[in-house]
Amino acid sequence: MDNKERLQRLVAAKKNIEVGDYGVASNDIAPLVIQEDPEAMFLSSTFSASAEESDSDFEARSFKLLLRAAELRFAPAMYALAVCYATGDLVDQSESEAARWYEAAAKAGHQSAKLHYGIALFNGAGVAIDRPAGLALIREVASMGDPTAAEVLADLEKQRD
């Protein structure tokens, strides 16, 4: 499949997801999922396409797809996996796994991951404390206009005073 068809399938799937037509969305990206396209796998991890799929089956399938997309270095999947580990959603909660995936997503340029990894570094949550590096990441995200990062930065700088 060429890149044009790949993009058409992804766009169609996203539109179908937005309107709640998950079966059609699943059909749109099924060939891409089979080819282990990380973006398609990530999208497929976000919805159940069949009324017959139980909640536990959906969660198992979702995690498997999310993990594989993250292993293939798709930044949104790495970030979503970090959130799963941070919150204990789909997996046992683990600060160290959350920090590992936040770091990977941050290195891939994911802005929210940079913020969360910066906070983890600052607080030593699942990773060795490195306040200067943590503040640098938070400042970087704040400088790009992220209001949450600006608020976190202001709070952390107040704590230092």
* Other beta carbons less than 10 A from residue 21's beta carbon: 15
pLDDT of residue 59: 95
pLDDT of residue 49: 80
Polymer length in residues for the chain: 161
Three-state secondary structure call for residue 126: coil
pLDDT of residue 51: 85
Please choose, from the candidates 69, 120, 62, the residue with its C-alpha nearest in 3D space to the C-alpha of residue 89.
62
**Burial class for 95, CB neighbours closer than 10 Å (0-12, 13-18, 19+):** middle
- pLDDT 10s digits, 115-130: 999 999 999 999 999 9
- pLDDT 10s digits, 9-56: 999 999 999 999 999 999 999 999 999 999 999 999 999 988 899 999
Q: Which amino acid is at 121?
A: L
Average pLDDT over residues 140-157: 94
Average pLDDT over residues 139-149: 96
| Cα gap 23→34, rounded to integer Å | 16
pLDDT of residue 47: 94
Average pLDDT over residues 147-154: 95
Average pLDDT over residues 75-96: 97
Q: Which CATH number fits domain 75-161: 1.10.8.60, 3.40.50.300, 3.30.2130.10, 1.25.40.10?
A: 1.25.40.10
pLDDT of residue 156: 86
| Cα gap 140→15, rounded to integer Å | 32
Domain ranges of the chain: 1-72, 75-161
pLDDT of residue 129: 96
Mean pLDDT computed over every residue of the chain: 95
| Cα gap 27→40, rounded to integer Å | 11
Q: If you ran DSSP here, which 8-state letter would residue 30 be given? A: H
| Cα gap 8→48, rounded to integer Å | 21
